[in-house]
Amino acid sequence: MSCIFCKIVNKEIPSTILWENNDLLAIEDINPVAPVHCLIIPKSHVTTVAEVDGNQLKSLPQCIEDLIIEKDLKKHGYRLVTNAGFDGGQEVDHIHFHLLGGKKLGKMG
Ligand code: AMP
Ligand code: ZN
- The mean per-residue pLDDT over the stretch 49-55 comes to 95
Predicted confidence at residue 10, as pLDDT, reads 97
* Position 109 in a domain: no
How many folded domains does the chain comprise?
Answer: 1
Dist. CA 2 → ligand 1 center (Å) = 15
* Position 8 in a domain: yes
- The mean per-residue pLDDT over the stretch 7-32 comes to 98
Rg (CA), the chain: 13
* Position 37 in a domain: yes
Torsion of CA 25, 97, 104, 88, to 10 degrees: 150
Torsion of CA 61, 62, 64, 70, to 10 degrees: 160
Residue 15 in contact with ligand 1 by CB distance below 6 A:
yes
Which residues lie near ion ligand 2 (Cβ < 5 Å)?
3, 5-6, 45, 94
- The mean per-residue pLDDT over the stretch 5-17 comes to 98
Residue 60 in contact with ligand 1 by CB distance below 6 A:
no
Query: Among positive and negative, which fits the CA dihedral 30, 33, 37, 40?
Result: negative
pLDDT tens-digit profile of 58-91?
999 999 999 999 999 999 999 999 999 999 999 9
Q: Whose CA is nearest to atom 17 of ligand 1?
A: 30
Residues facing 7 on adjacent strands: none
CATH number (domain holding residue 49): 3.30.428.10
* Position 106 in a domain: no
Predicted confidence at residue 1, as pLDDT, reads 62
pTM > 0.75: yes or no: yes
Which residue range is the domain that position 63 belongs to? Answer: 4-101
Q: How many CA atoms lie within 13 A of 71 on its CB side?
A: 27
Distances (CA, A) of 99 to 1, 2, 4, 12, 54: 26, 25, 19, 23, 19
Q: Which residues of 50-69 are buried (b: 16+ CB within 10 A; e: fewer)?
A: eebeeebbebbeebbeebbe
